[in-house]
C-alpha cells in the first residue's frame, strides 16, 4: 500500500512538473506578442517582407487546436466575444461600407483565434503567468523607451498615435506595480519593477496625451482601491505624484490644465463627433450603422445638423469617433451596447471575486501570492482601458480581447490549485464559481500548452 502511494505521489509530481514547463506553445505566444506590440516587422526593415505576424496568426490557432482543452470555448466570455464577432459579420447586411465590415471581421477573428484563445489555454500555471507578465512588462518598457526617444509616439499600428500609446502603457503599469509586492523577491527584481513603472509613466508624459493622463489617474486610483493596504498605497501613489510634478516640464503641466478648458479646440471637436454618433444611434437604435462605418456615415449627419456651416466647418468624413463608447453606440446600437457591457461586467466580476477571496482569507493564497496580485492588476488595467478609451477609438485594438484571455487563464490557474491553497471552498457564490472550475479541471486530461 505504501509503495502504491509512493507511485501515485511520484506520478503526481511528474505531472505537476510537466505542467509547470513553459513549452513551445507558450514561447510561440510570446513571439506573437513581440511582433504585435513591439512591431518588430516595422522597426527592423528586413523582417517586413517575411510576413512573420501573418504566419504566427495562422500557426497559433493550429497549435491551439492540437494541444489545448477545447472546453474553453464554452466559457461565457469566449461566447460573448464570438457573439460580438457574429454581430460584426451580420452588420455587413445593413452597413453602407461593406469592405470595412469585412476588414474588421477579419481582424477580430484573428484576435480571437491567435490571442484570446491561446492566452486562455496556455497561461494556466503560476510559472507561465509569472514569466509571461514579466515579459509583458519588458515589452511595454521597450515601447515606453521608444516613445521617450521618438517624440511621444509608439512603435506603429495601434501604438503609433500618442493617445494610443499612453492607453497601452496605462494598462501595463498595474502588472509591474502589483508584482513588485510579491514577498521574498530579490532587490534586483524589485528594482526592475520600480524602474518599469517609472519608465512607463515617463512614456505617458512624453506622449503629452491628456486622455493618457486621465487614464493614469484612473490607474493610480484603482491601485489604491483594490489593494489590501490602501493607506500604504495612497502614500506610495502620492509620492510618485510629487516626484512626477517635480520632474515634468511646465509645458506638460500647462497642457494638462487644458483638460478643463471648455474652449479647447480638440475638446470641442470630440464633442462634435460624439453628437454625430449619438444621432446615428437615434436613427439606428437596435443594431447601429455597422462595424467601422461611423467614418463613412458621419458626413451624412454633419450636413443635416444645425451645427453645420458650409465653408466654415471642416467635414469629418473618414475620421473615427475618437471614443471607445461612441464607436460601440452608433456602430452596434443596443445589441452592441448590451454585448460590450456584459463582457466588461463579467470580466470585472470574475476578477473581483478572486480579489475578495484573497481579502477575506489571504492565508489560502500563501503559496500563490502572485495570483490575486495579478487579478488586481487586471482590474486596474481594465479601469485604465475604460477611462483612456473614452477619448480614443480602441474597440478594434487588441487590448480588451487580450485581457479576456488573461483573465480566463488566471481563473483556470486558480481553479486548478489544491483546495487548501486557494479560498474557493467557503465563500458563497465566489466559492461555487472557483470550485466548479476546479472540479472540471481535475476531470479533464491535462494536455494544455504542451
pLDDT at 450 over 90: no
The answer to whether residue 268 is domain-embedded is no
The band of 19, judged by pLDDT with boundaries at 50, 70 and 90, is low
Least confident of 4-8, 81-85, 207-211, 233-237: 4-8
> What is the rounded distance in angstroms from the CA atom of residue 110 to the CA atom of residue 58?
9
The band of 400, judged by pLDDT with boundaries at 50, 70 and 90, is very high
Write down the pLDDT at residue 428.
42
Crossing angle of the two packed helices 98-111 and 76-90, in degrees rounded to 10: 160
CB 376 within 8 A of CB 227: yes
Least confident of 288-302, 310-324, 381-395: 310-324
> What is the rounded distance in angstroms from the CA atom of residue 284 to the CA atom of residue 335?
11
CB 72 within 8 A of CB 54: no
Sequence-ordered list of residues with C-beta below 8 angstroms from that of 230, at least 6 positions apart, any chain: 224
Q: Which residue has the cell 515601447?
A: 143
The band of 8, judged by pLDDT with boundaries at 50, 70 and 90, is very low
The answer to whether residue 91 is domain-embedded is yes
The answer to whether residue 302 is domain-embedded is no
Write down the pLDDT at residue 59.
96
CB 166 within 8 A of CB 204: yes
The band of 6, judged by pLDDT with boundaries at 50, 70 and 90, is very low
Q: Per residue in 91-136, pLDDT tens?
A: 999 999 999 999 999 999 999 999 999 999 999 999 999 999 999 9
Q: Which residue has the cell 510634478?
A: 245
Task: At 270, give phi and psi (nearest 5°).
Answer: -65, -45
Q: Per residue in 101-111, pLDDT tens?
A: 999 999 999 99
Least confident of 220-229, 240-249, 260-269, 329-338: 240-249
Is the model more confident about 382 or about 248?
382
> What is the rounded distance in angstroms from the CA atom of residue 169 to the CA atom of residue 173?
6
Is the model more confident about 37 or about 232?
37
- From the centroid of its chain, how far is CA 218? 15
- Over residues 291-320, the mean pLDDT reads 86
Mean pLDDT for the chain overall: 86
Nearest to 73 by CA among 107, 106, 112, 108: 112
The band of 434, judged by pLDDT with boundaries at 50, 70 and 90, is low
Write down the pLDDT at residue 227.
80
The answer to whether residue 90 is domain-embedded is yes
CB 273 within 8 A of CB 319: yes
The band of 444, judged by pLDDT with boundaries at 50, 70 and 90, is low
How many domains does the structure of the chain reveal?
Answer: 1
Retrieve residue 49's grid coordinates.
517582407
- Over residues 350-379, the mean pLDDT reads 90
The answer to whether residue 309 is domain-embedded is no
- Over residues 398-407, the mean pLDDT reads 97
> What is the rounded distance in angstroms from the CA atom of residue 17 to the CA atom of residue 15?
5
The answer to whether residue 311 is domain-embedded is no
Retrieve residue 247's grid coordinates.
520632474
Full-model pTM: 0.87
The band of 442, judged by pLDDT with boundaries at 50, 70 and 90, is very low
> What is the rounded distance in angstroms from the CA atom of residue 422 to the CA atom of residue 363?
9
Write down the pLDDT at residue 18.
54
Write down the pLDDT at residue 226.
84
Write down the pLDDT at residue 97.
95
pLDDT at 197 over 60: yes
- Over residues 193-207, the mean pLDDT reads 93
- Over residues 54-73, the mean pLDDT reads 94
pLDDT at 199 over 80: yes
The band of 201, judged by pLDDT with boundaries at 50, 70 and 90, is very high
Write down the pLDDT at residue 448.
43
The answer to whether residue 280 is domain-embedded is no
Q: Give percent of the chain with pLDDT exceeding 70.
A: 86
Write down the pLDDT at residue 56.
96
Write down the pLDDT at residue 297.
95
Q: Which residue has the cell 477545447?
A: 70
Alpha carbons within 13 A on the beta-carbon side of 330 = 25
Write down the pLDDT at residue 20.
61
Q: Which residue has the cell 534586483?
A: 188
pLDDT at 344 over 90: yes
- Residue 215 belongs to domain spanning: 2-261+322-443
Nearest to 312 by CA among 302, 300, 323: 302
Write down the pLDDT at residue 257.
65
Secondary structure, 3-state, the chain: CHHHHHHHHHHHHHHHHHHHCCHHHHHHHHHHHHHHHHCHHHHCHHHHHHCHHHHHHHHHHHHHHHHCCHHHHHCHHHHHHHHHHHHHHHHHHCCCCHHHHHHHHHHHHHHHHHHHHHHHHHCCCHHHHHHHHHHHHHHHHHHHHHHHHCCCCCCCHHHCCHHHHHHHHHHHHHHHHHHCCCCCCCHHHHHHHHHHHHHHHHHHHHHCCHHHHHHHHHHHHHHHHCCCCHHHHHHHHHHHHHHHHHHCCHHHHHHHHHHHCCCCHHHHHHHHHHHHHHHHHHHCCCCCCCCCCHHHHHHHHHHCCCCCCCCCCCCCCCCCCCCCHHHHHHHHHHHHHHHHHHHHHHHHHHHHHHHHHHHHCHHHHCCCCHHHHHHHHHHHHHHHHHHHHHHCCCCCCCHHHHHHHHHHHHHHHHHHCCCCCCCCCCCHHHHHHHHHHHHHHHHCCCCCCC
Write down the pLDDT at residue 424.
39
The answer to whether residue 303 is domain-embedded is no
Write down the pLDDT at residue 1.
41
Amino acid at each position: 500500500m505504501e509503495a502504491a502511494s509512493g507511485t501515485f505521489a511520484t506520478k503526481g509530481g511528474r505531472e505537476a512538473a510537466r505542467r509547470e514547463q513553459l513549452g513551445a506553445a507558450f514561447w510561440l505566444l510570446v513571439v506573437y506578442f513581440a511582433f504585435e506590440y513591439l512591431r518588430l516587422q516595422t522597426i527592423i526593415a528586413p523582417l517586413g517582407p517575411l510576413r512573420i505576424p501573418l504566419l504566427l496568426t495562422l500557426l497559433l490557432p493550429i497549435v491551439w487546436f492540437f494541444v489545448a482543452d477545447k472546453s474553453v470555448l464554452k466559457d461565457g466570455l469566449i461566447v460573448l466575444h464570438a457573439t460580438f464577432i457574429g454581430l460584426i459579420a451580420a452588420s455587413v447586411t445593413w452597413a453602407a461600407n461593406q469592405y470595412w465590415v469585412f476588414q474588421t471581421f477579419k481582424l477580430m477573428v484573428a484576435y480571437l483565434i491567435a490571442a484570446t484563445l491561446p492566452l486562455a489555454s496556455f497561461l494556466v500555471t503560476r510559472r507561465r503567468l509569472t514569466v509571461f507578465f514579466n515579459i509583458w512588462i519588458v515589452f511595454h518598457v521597450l515601447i515606453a523607451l521608444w516613445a521617450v526617444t521618438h517624440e511621444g509616439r509608439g512603435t506603429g499600428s495601434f501604438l503609433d498615435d500618442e493617445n494610443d500609446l499612453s492607453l497601452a502603457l496605462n494598462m501595463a503599469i498595474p502588472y509591474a506595480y502589483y508584482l513588485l509586492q510579491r514577498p521574498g523577491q530579490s532587490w534586483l527584481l524589485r528594482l526592475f519593477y520600480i524602474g518599469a513603472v517609472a519608465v512607463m509613466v515617463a512614456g505617458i508624459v512624453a506622449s503629452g496625451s491628456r486622455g493618457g493622463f486621465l487614464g493614469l489617474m484612473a490607474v493610480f486610483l484603482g491601485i489604491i482601491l483594490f489593494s489590501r493596504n490602501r493607506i500604504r498605497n495612497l502614500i506610495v501613489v502620492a509620492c510618485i505624484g510629487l516626484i512626477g510634478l517635480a520632474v515634468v516640464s511646465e509645458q506638460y503641466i500647462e497642457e494638462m490644465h487644458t483638460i478643463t478648458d471648455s474652449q479647447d479646440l480638440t475638446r470641442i471637436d470630440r464633442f462634435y463627433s460624439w453628437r454625430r454618433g449619438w444621432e446615428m444611434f437615434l436613427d439606428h437604435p437596435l443594431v447601429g450603422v455597422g462595424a467601422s462605418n461611423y467614418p463613412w456615415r458621419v458626413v451624412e449627419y454633419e450636413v443635416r445638423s444645425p451645427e453645420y456651416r458650409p465653408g466654415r466647418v471642416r467635414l469629418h468624413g473618414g475620421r473615427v469617433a475618437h471614443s471607445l463608447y461612441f464607436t460601440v453606440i452608433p456602430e452596434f446600437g443596443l445589441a452592441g451596447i448590451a454585448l460590450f457591457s456584459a463582457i466588461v461586467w463579467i470580466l470585472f466580476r470574475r476578477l473581483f471575486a478572486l480579489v475578495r477571496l484573497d481579502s477575506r482569507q489571504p492565508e489560502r493564497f500563501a503559496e500563490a501570492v502572485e495570483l490575486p496580485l495579478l487579478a488586481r492588476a487586471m482590474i486596474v488595467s481594465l479601469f485604465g482601458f475604460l477611462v483612456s478609451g473614452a477619448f480614443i477609438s480602441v474597440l478594434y485594438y487588441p487590448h480588451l480581447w487580450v485581457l479576456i484571455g488573461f483573465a480566463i487563464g488566471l481563473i483556470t490557474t486558480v481553479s486548478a490549485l489544491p483546495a487548501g491553497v486557494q479560498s474557493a471552498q467557503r465563500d458563497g457564490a465566489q466559492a461555487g464559481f472557483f470550485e466548479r472550475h476546479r472540479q472540471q479541471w481535475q476531470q479533464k486530461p491535462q494536455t494544455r500548452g504542451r
